[in-house]
Amino acid sequence: MGYGLLISKPGIDVLGTLAQDQKNLIFDYNLNHLKTAGYGTVTLSASAGGTQLQTVGHSLEYQPLVVAYYHNTTTNPDRWLITTSVVPNTGISRIASDDSVACLSGTASIGFLYKNQAGAAGTVELLYEYFYEGSS
Amino acid sequence: MTQTFRVSKPGIDVTSGTVPNNYYLDLIYPLLKVHSFGTFNTNVASFPVTVNHNLGYYPFVLTFSQFLDSNGGTPVVTNEYYQHDWFLRGASKEWIGQTKVFENKIEINVSQTDIASGTSIKGFYYIFKDPIA
């Protein structure tokens, strides 16, 4: 029998049958887990119909995995949306939001491209986290 | 006292506080566990890329790939990778970057109407043990 660290979810015997299903574990030494390389907040502002790109430098030298959420601080302060990429110039259908943010990942920086399709200037706040896991 | 397991961030007393973000590991909050990871470098004509995971349920998946950027001209493969999914439909052109999740596989597709079929697209994906729901 080998050695390793397994942590099961509350109520599940780590030595029992249920724990053999890895989705019932909190931590499994056999599997990789996402490890945070950096995180932060950016604020993006754009005029009506405009865009703003904000980049955040990193030193990983490969494209990291990124997860980010954003909200319009004025029109949708309670509605956080996950970033997607490259939205159409017209006809955004994401829950009637006029704001879209594309998430991109490069070898020296990550970036967030805000596209404001409302009839007035807009500002979004974005929370991001990027990981050591990525293209390499 | 209820038993638990926590690993706190440096400088944080592991025995006090309840703020989840103070801990690298907390029994109450499962970590995303990587089931499989891979990269692809595929000709446009060879999409979709199928990756079998055989989990028997719909897992959480994240995919990034290059984008075929154009603004009325010849599409250009971007250096940076973009988060999937995207789907743009113009009057006569489409841009697709899509990852479909099935119970035992995922399918990754990247295309653009005007792109040469031999164009190579790079990207990577992570499939997690953790189900979507």
Question: Are A58 and A85 part of one and the same domain?
Answer: yes
Question: Are A19 and A57 part of one and the same domain?
Answer: no
Q: Residue B72's pLDDT band (boundaries 50, 70, 90)?
A: low
Rounded to the nearest integer, the mean pLDDT of chain B is 89
Mean pLDDT of B31-58: 95
Question: Are A12 and A46 part of one and the same domain?
Answer: no
Question: Are A10 and A69 part of one and the same domain?
Answer: no
Tell me if B67 sits within 8 A of B82, measured CB to CB. yes
- Check CB contact of B32 with chain A, cutoff 8 Å: yes
- 3-class secondary-structure state, position A19: helix
CB contact under 8 A, B81 and A111: no
What are the two backbone dihedrals, phi and then psi, of residue B120, each rounded to the nearest 5 degrees?
-90, 140
The topology under which CATH files domain B34-131 is Immunoglobulin-like (2.60.40)
Estimate the share of chain B in helix, then strand, then coil, as percent rounded to the nearest 5: 5, 55, 40
Measured between alpha carbons, how far is B60 from B58 in angstroms, rounded to an integer?
A: 7
Is it the case that residue B78 has pLDDT exceeding 60? yes
* Count of domains observed in chain A: 2
Closest CB to B30 among A9, A63, A107: A9
Question: Are A1 and A41 part of one and the same domain?
Answer: no
Rounded to the nearest integer, the mean pLDDT of chain A is 87
* Best residue in A20, A23, A30 for a mutation probing chain B (most B CBs within 10 Å): A23
Question: Are A2 and A47 part of one and the same domain?
Answer: no
Question: Are A46 and A104 part of one and the same domain?
Answer: yes
Measured between alpha carbons, how far is A101 from B54 in angstroms, rounded to an integer?
A: 33
- State the pLDDT at residue A136: 85
Q: In what order do the strands lie in the sheet with B59-69?
A: A32-33, B33-43, B120-131, B59-69, B76-83, A99-105, A109-116, A51-57
Mean pLDDT of A76-92: 68
Domain hosting A110: range is 36-134
Mean pLDDT of A66-88: 82
In 10 A of CB A2, how many CB atoms?
Answer: 5
Question: Are A83 and A111 part of one and the same domain?
Answer: yes
* 0.90 surpassed by complex ipTM: no
Question: Are A55 and A89 part of one and the same domain?
Answer: yes
Give contacts of A66 with chain B, Cβ < 8 Å: 64, 83
pLDDT above 70 as % of chain B: 97
Question: Are A22 and A46 part of one and the same domain?
Answer: no
Give contacts of B97 with chain A, Cβ < 8 Å: 85-86
In 10 A of CB B129, how many CB atoms?
Answer: 23
Question: Are A50 and A84 part of one and the same domain?
Answer: yes
Question: Are A12 and A53 part of one and the same domain?
Answer: no
Give contacts of A27 with chain B, Cβ < 8 Å: 25, 31, 33
* Domain edges within chain B: 1-29, 34-131
- State the pLDDT at residue A86: 56
